[in-house]
Amino acid sequence: QVQLVESGGGVVQPGGSLRLSCAASGFTFSSYGMHWVRQAPGKGLEWVAFIRYDGSNKYYADSVKGRFTISRDNSKNTLYLQMNSLRAEDTAVYYCAKDLWFRAFDIWGQGTMVTVSS
């Protein structure tokens, strides 16, 4: 079945770095754009980044631009999010999600928790 599984979350100090991964299965990963969406504890959803199916274009929320990098390895069916210069306000559950025609997110992973704290 279609599945997305995130990993790589944890506790990191302010200013530190972390790389998240999202393993995809059950669909042709290389044919679809992919997103990262996050949710701070007890808060709503915030879109973070999007990468096109072939990695040719990448888009970011203003809140993470210049600090986060989205990438993918289609040979490994894996999506990544490199997070640098982390701040307390980056603390959240990070979800990867499959793109639906640039308009919505139709498949979601279970999420991985990132905590930025000293």
Binding site residues, other proteins, CB under 8 A? 35, 44-47, 50, 59, 61, 95, 100, 102-111
Which residue number, 40 or 75, has a Cβ lying nearer to other proteins? 40
Q: 56 or 75, CB closer to other proteins? A: 56
Measured CA to CA, the distance from residue 95 to residue 104 in angstroms comes to 14
Residue 105 CB, nearest approach to other proteins (Å) = 6
Tokens of 65: 């631009």
Q: How many CB atoms lie within 10 A of CB 80?
A: 20
CB of 18 to other proteins, least distance (A): 20
Asked whether the beta carbons of 51 and 79 are under 8 A apart, the reply is yes
